[in-house]
């Protein structure tokens, strides 16, 4: 029986890759053009030779490096917090028996159905009352814990950590926290790495909440928004904006390149151990 993928599978994979890479390629194409060429119709489909020139203009227009550092701090803090608390809560839901755990887990999952936009006004009022507006703390606080992270780690730890291993650790005199640290955390490392990467990417690319919470403090979202307002007259210099967008995407690409092999190796290791 031939189990090799057929033409349809390869065609769908190729379409998925092209569709995923097209926005990034299009940003580079427009970001490497002049303002006049970027506004042409039909638009250019091959890169121009002005990307470095546009990049220098981006650095002269906004404080890009400070915005990059602020976004890096917020994204890293949120990713570390989500991984820690989600692993702890996921282990509790997966392996600890307490009254109401199923109902509480169901409530956590239900919160994922609430649109994020509905929380913008309450979050703004809350941050204003605590005098946190226009600070990086206001940007980071709503993303320190996520329902998806708790659900993701709970599903992974349910099968990754055998109950017999937990019972053996307790018979050896381990406390609950030591059992979590020595038994659950090593088994959860592959899922923790994936959750860290996804959370970092989600916070890095979230443009809505930083634009609401910040005014003077710059992150990449604020810097790119200011680039859109630097065009002469009523027009936006899309070549400049997309050059800045391409520069803001480079750290994410580097993270995927550096973490790709470790993620795959961790997933395979966890699968073999399971």
Whether residue 28 lies inside any domain: the answer is no
pLDDT in tens, 81-121: 999 999 999 999 998 888 888 899 999 999 888 888 888 99
Domain CATH for 140: 1.10.3720.10
Whether residue 85 lies inside any domain: the answer is yes
pLDDT in tens, 211-224: 899 888 888 888 88
Write out the chain's pLDDT in tens, 274 residues. Answer: 556 777 788 889 889 989 988 888 888 999 888 888 887 888 888 888 888 999 999 998 889 999 999 999 999 999 999 999 999 999 999 988 888 888 999 999 998 888 888 889 999 999 999 999 999 999 999 999 999 999 999 999 988 888 888 888 888 888 888 888 988 898 888 889 889 988 999 999 998 899 899 888 888 888 888 887 765 556 788 888 899 998 999 888 888 888 776 666 555 655 444 4
Q: How many domains does the chain have?
A: 1
Q: Helix, strand or coil for residue 230?
A: coil
Q: What angle do CA 49, 53, 55 make, to 5 degrees?
A: 110
Neighbours of 164 (CB within 10 A): 8
Cβ pair 50, 35 in contact under 8 A: no
Domain with 166 in it:
62-228
Whether residue 37 lies inside any domain: the answer is no
Whether residue 8 lies inside any domain: the answer is no
The token pair at 87 is 């692993």
Instruction: Please state the pTM of the whole predicted model.
Output: 0.85
Whether residue 259 lies inside any domain: the answer is no
Whether residue 46 lies inside any domain: the answer is no
Alpha helices in the chain (DSSP H): 7-31, 35-38, 51-61, 64-95, 101-111, 120-129, 136-140, 147-160, 163-171, 176-179, 185-204, 208-213, 220-228, 238-273
How far is the C-alpha of 186 from the C-alpha of 181, rounded, in Å? 8
Whether residue 254 lies inside any domain: the answer is no
Whether residue 216 lies inside any domain: the answer is yes
């Amino acid at each position: 029986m031939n189990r090799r993928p057929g033409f349809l599978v390869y065609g769908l994979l190729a379409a998925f890759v092209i569709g995923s890479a097209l926005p990034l390629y299009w940003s580079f194409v427009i970001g490497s053009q002049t303002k006049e060429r970027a506004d042409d119709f039909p638009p250019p489909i091959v890169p121009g030779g002005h990307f470095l020139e546009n990049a220098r203009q981006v650095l002269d227009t906004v404080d890009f490096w400070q915005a990059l550092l602020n976004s890096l701090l917020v994204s890293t803090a949120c990713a570390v917090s989500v991984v820690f608390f989600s692993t702890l809560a996921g282990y509790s839901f997966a392996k600890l028996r307490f009254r109401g755990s199923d109902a509480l887990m169901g409530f956590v999952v239900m919160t994922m159905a609430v649109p994020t936009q509905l929380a913008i006004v309450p979050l703004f009022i809350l941050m204003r009352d605590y005098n946190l507006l226009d600070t990086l703390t206001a940007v980071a606080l709503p993303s320190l814990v996520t329902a998806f992270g708790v659900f993701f780690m709970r599903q992974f730890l349910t099968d990754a950590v055998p109950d017999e291993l937990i019972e053996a650790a307790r018979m050896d005199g381990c406390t609950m926290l030591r059992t979590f640290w020595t038994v659950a955390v090593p088994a959860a490392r592959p899922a923790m790495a994936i959750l860290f990467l996804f959370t970092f990417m989600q916070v890095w690319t979230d443009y809505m909440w930083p634009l609401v919470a910040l005014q003077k403090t710059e992150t990449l979202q604020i810097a790119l928004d200011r680039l859109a307002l630097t065009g002469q007259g009523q027009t936006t210099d899309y070549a400049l904006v997309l050059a800045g967008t391409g520069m803001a995407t480079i750290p994410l690409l580097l993270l995927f390149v550096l973490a790709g092999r470790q993620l795959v190796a961790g997933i395979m290791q966890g699968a073999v151990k399971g």
